[in-house]
Amino acid sequence: MDRQALRSLLRHKRSLIDPTELGWPRRTGRGRRSAGLSQAQVAHALYVSERTYAQLERGDMPSPAPEFLDAVAGVLRMAEPERSALYVYALGHEPPVPMNPEAGTRVDPAWPMAVRGVSGLPCYVNDVAWNLLGWNDDFLRMFPRRQGAEPELPERNLMRWMLLCEEAREHHLVDWEERWAAPVAAQLRAAVAAHPDNADLRRLDAEVNDDPVVGPVYRRHDITYVQQDGDTRPVRHAGLVSPGADRCCAEHAPSVPGAVTLCAAQPLGSPGARFFFLVFRPAAG
């Protein structure tokens, strides 16, 4: 617990809220008064005693309940990063789930702009349900395409493409059954468990479960969630001109076999969303 940081955060957030916004009468009379809510007013809004809230603000409350911290964050109108700081200062770890049920479904408009401006490495940003929110031209050029066709997204939802699209399973994601199906299915199952109210994830859960190819893999319980950051998997890259390029089939333009390493990061304002750099290495030989 960081008592000083906890005290500073709570006092600062109290000072920003006008008590009249919570129904308290406007202060009158002489004398210097602190701006914002008092500890007693916060306690009243939380339906606890002033002593209980004061214990938290002083850092004297051992292991406050997550439900209490969430109530405090709500009353003090904390943004997601502030709520995370509250948990870290009070409990020593970040909250297990976002406060906002829509967290991870969108990112700041600057993110897609920043991603589009990157060249030299494929990159993209997706929401918590793997819907693409932004990508660059290098990312588009990775996907197998028909002869003479322009690069384009084969599917706006990457999870649906990776697990359900025949083109991904048969052509782009090399050794799909052994190297892709199980870890990607485990990622989806973990996301559905973490965000049970997300409609897109519920739809993916049903589609993948009912699919005759990947459904049996998805229903296995001996595979666990795989952290994406740093994971390396075999793919074919259609955007490179290389002596190692060949055809995966008669319909697709030549592509280069190799492996891609996923470098993942999280937009801090949107827990659950992810930003990826894809580092591709051609196969030896």
Per residue in 132-161, pLDDT (tens digit) is 999 999 999 999 888 888 889 999 999 999
In angstroms, rounded to a whole number, what is the distance separating the alpha carbons of residues 39 and 75? 12
E strand map for 146-255 = 232-237
Q: Are the C-beta atoms of 169 and 179 separated by less than 8 Å?
A: no
pLDDT in the model for residue 32: 45
Question: What are the tens digits of pLDDT across the range 22-40?
Answer: 778 766 655 445 678 999 9
Pick the CATH number of 110-282 from 2.60.40, 3.30.450, 1.10.1760, 1.10.405: 3.30.450
Q: 51: which residues sit within 8 A by CB, 6+ positions away?
A: none
State the span(s) of the chain assigned CATH 1.10.260.40: 3-91
E strand map for the chain = 123-126, 132-135, 232-237, 256-265, 274-282
Q: Are the C-beta atoms of 217 and 181 separated by less than 8 Å?
A: yes
State the span(s) of the chain assigned CATH 3.30.450: 110-282
Tokens of 163: 């697990």
Would you identify the CATH topology of the domain 3-91?
434 Repressor (Amino-terminal Domain) (1.10.260)
E strand map for 225-267 = 232-237, 256-265
Tokens of 117: 């401006």
Q: Are the C-beta atoms of 274 and 125 separated by less than 8 Å?
A: yes
Question: What are the tens digits of pLDDT across the range 202-259?
Answer: 999 999 999 999 999 998 877 776 677 788 999 999 988 787 788 888 888 889 999 9
**Whole-structure pTM value:** 0.72
Q: Are the C-beta atoms of 182 and 217 separated by less than 8 Å?
A: yes
Look up tokens 């509250």; give the residue.
86
CA nearest neighbour of 189 among 173, 198, 171, 201:
201
